[in-house]
Structure 1
């Protein structure tokens, strides 16, 4: 029995963070592992076959993920905007609607259907972050503030700015701070 792929629709910000974290954790992340991540985020199996998604494509994608990770670690809105504009300019980003592989119409900002994997990933990731920055007025992303953790996160929900990659890191940090303060004085 073959495996079933459940496509969630396009969520380029989530794809970006997951791939950037994977590449930060394993800079030499193999082609097959990158292909599995892309498949999980809706890319077609045919496009990710070894002849279509090569080791050179994987190397370019890893480089693009590392460059975008630098933007994800940027907390200053002006520096983040300048970095995103530079990436979009580099990719020759010009919005266009695309429909392929049975997907609904969706936005692409790469040079065209013949764009490299790295160019596509850079353009789509930069566009996703630019949209978030323009909607929130600040980078709604970052690097986890928990000691010993450097995972990137995307925080697009309502409320205060997020500081941790997960509730586990947030809780661990709060518990450690509580223990450092010691017991409350008795009355």
Structure 2
């Protein structure tokens, strides 16, 4: 979910080849990603769904995130059911049926995943990187304090920039007795 949301945020007209490669890396089978099974209309809907999910992933306020997830669940989720189709093992679906669109599947399953994370951690563990000039979304579920950066690289750059800023400010201040 987060990889697709990040990809579409940086490339709103994400090419089919990139979308297929991304979905394949996350367990979708090649035969489920052909032009016949992932149509151009499906791809447009999936891009729009990823942009919408990106808006929720950028929301770090837990209450607002929970309200947005409730809206998605009301609009796209159905009763949870076990599904085994086209050679996939049994797995949980919360979309409205096996004939749901790619976008509906993406929004329902992503909303459920984020809702579970929010309830398990008691807060939104996701957000947009706090580093200057970075809009990458992150999902933090590990122990420790809440995440603010998408990567250790962005965190290090931000710390170094902050350190340099503080040092420059200190050097600019006149000496005090």
What TM-score comes out, normalization by structure 1 length?
0.87
Aligned length, in residue pairs: 170
In structure 2, which of residues 38, 49, 68 is the aligned counterpart of residue 83 of structure 1? 68
In structure 1, stretches of 5+ residues that fail to align are 1-15
In structure 1, which of residues 174, 178, 182 is the aligned counterpart of residue 159 of structure 2? 174
Q: Distance in 1 between matches of 2:142 and 2:87?
A: 30
Q: Distance in 1 between matches of 2:165 and 2:98?
A: 55
Q: Which residue of 2 aligns with 1:55?
A: 40
Q: Which residue of 2 aligns with 1:43?
A: 28
In structure 1, which of residues 26, 38, 54 is the aligned counterpart of residue 11 of structure 2? 26
Q: Distance in 2 between matches of 1:104 and 1:142?
A: 32
Q: Which residue of 2 aligns with 1:108?
A: 93
Q: Which residue of 2 aligns with 1:13?
A: none
Q: Is the 8 A contact 1:20 1:68 kept in 2?
A: yes
Larger-gyration structure (1/2): 2
**Larger helix percent:** 2
Q: Secondary structure at the match of 1:46?
A: helix
Give the superposed CA RMSD. 1.5
Q: Tell me how far 1:42 sits from its aligned partner.
A: 0.3
Q: Distance in 1 between matches of 2:97 and 2:14?
A: 26
Asked whether 1:126 is paired with 2:116, we answer no
Q: Is the 8 A contact 1:31 1:54 kept in 2?
A: no
Q: Which residue of 1 aligns with 2:174?
A: none
Q: Tell me how far 1:78 sits from its aligned partner.
A: 1.3
Q: Tell me how far 1:48 sits from its aligned partner.
A: 0.2
Q: Is the 8 A contact 1:81 1:130 kept in 2?
A: yes
